[in-house]
Amino acid sequence: MAKAERRERSLALYETIASLRDPEECRRFFEDLCTPVELRSMEQRFDVAVYLQRGLVYLDILDRTGASSATISRVRRAMLDNGAGGVMREVILRAGLDKSEAREVSQETQESKVEVE
């Protein structure tokens, strides 16, 4: 597959995600697209990003999410180096998830955690 065609196909994925009607449709879309382990990994990384934005230290993030220090470090580097232009930080701020009194994000992902053998 040519590089231009791959880029076009990737763009189609993101356009499709952006066009989803609501969080429920988005959840179902990702459940169809990803394995439970892949979903849990993305949810965990998002939780890590939120807690980093709130200023929590690695040990607290590890306790709340179960993420490895390597995962926490990777997410931190991506956020500090602005990853894809600082979008994650902007999304967290816009959603109000940077405030400690905001709804605990890890509670949701812990409830949806899937045991994998």
State how many domains the chain has. Answer: 2
Segments forming the whole domain that contains residue 6: 1-33
Report if pTM > 0.85. no
pLDDT band for 108, please (50, 70, 90 cuts).
very low
pLDDT in tens, 58-104: 999 999 999 999 999 999 988 877 666 678 888 899 999 988 754 45
What is the residue-averaged pLDDT of the chain? 84
Same domain, 54 and 104: yes
Question: What's 22's DSSP letter?
Answer: S
Same domain, 26 and 42: no
In this predicted structure, the answer to whether residue 110 has a pLDDT above a threshold of 50 is no
Residue corresponding to tokens 């232009």: 85
Q: State both tokens at 29.
A: 């879309």
Same domain, 10 and 58: no
